[in-house]
Amino acid sequence: MPTPRETILTALHARLSALSATALRGEVLPERIPAEGLLILRDGEPGEPEVTLSPLHDHYQHRAEIEAIVQGTDRDAAFDTLTASVGAALAADRTLGGLCDWVEAEAPRPVDLPVEGAASLKAAVIPVVLH
């Protein structure tokens, strides 16, 4: 039986898989980036729990990361579309079907990465806090 952490991360990956971009989980960067873009979900860290004493219960703020990557001549527009679609997918159901209390994405910090002999990549890590 999967743990609650694994269940929540699987639900988050399923939410990302519904987007037009290719969504992977814990994979290495492939040699070719799909035209619609690529999302790679990294499991991240659960952080330190906050404890409620009555009743005794641990509350975690798990930090996962989504790597968003696009390549091509119109990288800026494609990157904007990809990151906006991630934000919209998360905003559509902030509890992932009741599996967690709240899902919140932080702002991405994009970087351009040159690729020898090919179009540059535009990428960012989008931190996602799962309460």
pLDDT per position as a tens digit, 17-70: 999 999 999 999 998 899 999 999 999 988 788 888 878 877 888 999 999 999
For the chain, list the domains and their CATH numbers. Answer: 4-130 (3.30.70.1700)
Residue type, position 99, single letter: L
Tell me the pLDDT tens digit for each residue of 112-122.
Answer: 988 888 888 99
Pairwise CA distance, residues 95 & 18, whole Å: 16
pTM: 0.90
Pairwise CA distance, residues 77 & 103, whole Å: 25
Tell me the two tokens of residue 127.
């931190």
